[in-house]
Structure 1
């Protein structure tokens, strides 16, 4: 909710209900013009230090928003009366747009077989994004699958609700074998990698069909990349992804969230108050919560 506007803000008013992506941007630089708002030359992440000085963190009672006209997106005021819708709209700030970014990077299309590595909030939104883009339903180009790779029953149940046709609980070589069995030995046309470890990337490469693509959005961590460029070269596997420019995707995704055709709200399975934020992080770390909603 907008509490106050500065003299340079013209598109927003006090009282407006808004959503903010996890990166603020000016909306006019060369990168923003190309839709890559995460590389904005004047932008930054909440809590970071940049040209604007120290920016406020995004998890507080209030935050000053640089370039508010370009960064914030106004939402319908009546969304405040619908708890489920308000929760779904919150996903536009990060996980839904990130899942969509991965699906685009992987080249998801109607009739394609898609595999999603990772059963966190982003991976589950990747399933939802793949379904939205036409995967997993009969099509002239084929009757593809949406295969969710994950071991947590509560999360894979959400994946099925989001459109997954199959669930693979195995990991490593066993996961690769299971996906290939489901796909007649060929693998998936499009693979979403939403974990960021060496093992998850090796799995992603192993389950990709020759000529297919991997959309990676898992923040890389660990000792290695898991990429064998020689194998990817020989099998014509493309790799595309990175930090999701979710501000660019919000106008496209917003109507589907508002009309209910896309409902990512189930990924938020725990609500905490501002003073309980450390407990929320602990719950996610211990895998007792999927994604935490902080309510003031």
Structure 2
């Protein structure tokens, strides 16, 4: 089968590799029909995360058709159309019961890999995989795009809003204008935020932020961005900040943009080596976040919202690529020519 291979920083490629096989009783083999490139994939592509040359890439978002199931799978049969979340919860441990399956206590290998391929082995599929009514051909491409965001970015944006308990009337700042940040705007609006301040320097992302519900745009960064937040909030600061990047600057901007007692939701994969918590102690700032509870949110809220046309997160996909053109899909995101690259596999 065809699979994406990390060649070296700045290059991925398609190679023929062996088909995945059932290795555990709760494995599911999926035929991937739609995949994409995640902002977190770019850390390795840019050489900022260490990756072994000529190794399989860690794509982790997919829509697929169930091909085979392990003997322990009772919730799925071959032919089912599913969302493949990037987190794999068991559904019954203390973490999963509390709605934090990103930290499932029973599955150490809790994250997907290998979705930028024709087939993938999905581990721990009994509870995690999300069945979609019908088959791919029953949906428009626009709807498939929105369904694909439910594998990661829409749920991750929602996670930032949920762990900070965004509620009606809140003023929310969203740090990061990638797909997760834009989905964070959708999420803040869903939960009733009165004012949503989006930080973005790129016109295409600014336009989409406003379409999704942002009320204000801040193009500045660092100290200037914090000053702008204060000027927009009568020098009080925001109630909630959604940090959707993970860099040292973005985290610093987030924690300084809130009022005393503000809540900061961190869902950007951390790439800041250290963090001084002293200022947050004296401002009573609450910090929460981590890997998103994808299955929980999809089952309870997000799949229904997408199927009913209440939200349209698939608009974050601004260019479509064939799997054979996966390196171009990475380059387009790396160079900010697209917000998120959508990959047709079938």
Q: Same fold (TM over 0.5)?
A: yes
Asked whether the equivalents of residues 102 and 290 of structure 2 are also in contact (C-alpha less than 8 Å), the reply is no
* Residue 30 of structure 1, aligned match among 94, 104, 122: 94
Which of 246, 267, 277 is 1:196 aligned to?
Answer: 246
Q: Distance in 1 between matches of 2:308 and 2:168?
A: 21
Question: Counterpart of 1:209?
Answer: 259
Structure 1 stretch 149-158 or stretch 25-34: which is displaced more?
A: 25-34
User: Which of residues 260, 263, 268 in structure 2 aligns to 1:218?
Assistant: 268
Gaps of 5+ in 1: 48-56, 137-144
Shift of 1:27: 2.3
Moved over 3 A (4+): 222-225
Using the alignment, how far apart are the partners of 2:278 and 2:70 within structure 1?
A: 53
The within-5 A match list for 1:269-288 is 269-288=318-337
Higher normalized helix content (fraction of residues): 1
Normalising by structure 2, we get a TM-score of 0.77
Aligned length: 277
> Secondary structure, in 3 states, of the residue corresponding to 1:64?
strand
Does 1:21 find its partner at 2:115?
no
1:192, distance to aligned residue in structure 2 (A)? 0.4
RMSD of aligned alpha carbons: 1.5
Structure with greater proportional strand content:
2
Q: Are the aligned partners of 1:175 and 1:203 in contact in 2 as well (CA < 8 Å)?
A: yes
Q: Is 1:95 the equivalent of 2:95?
A: no
Answer yes or no: is the 8 Å Cα contact 2:103–2:291 preserved in 1.
no
Greater length-normalized contact order (CA 8 Å, ≥ 6 residues apart): 2
Structure 2 residue aligned with 1:259:
308
Question: Match for residue 46 of structure 1?
Answer: 112
**1:223 Cα offset (Å):** 4.3
1:78–1:2 CA distance, 2 compared to 1 (3 A):
closer
Q: Give the conservation status (yes or no) of the 8 Å contact 1:105–1:215.
A: yes
Segments of structure 2 that go 5 or more residues without pairing to the other structure are 1-64
2:346 paired with 1:289: no
Q: What TM-score comes out, normalization by structure 1 length?
A: 0.89
Equivalent of 1:122 in 180, 185, 193:
180
SS at match of 1:181: helix
Are the equivalent residues in 1 in contact too, given 2:85–2:129 (CA < 8 A)? yes
Matched residue, 1:160: 210
More deviation, 123-132/284-293: 284-293
Equivalent residues of 1:79, 1:85 under 8 A apart: no
Tell whether the 8 Å contact from 2:266 to 2:289 is kept in structure 1 after alignment. Answer: yes
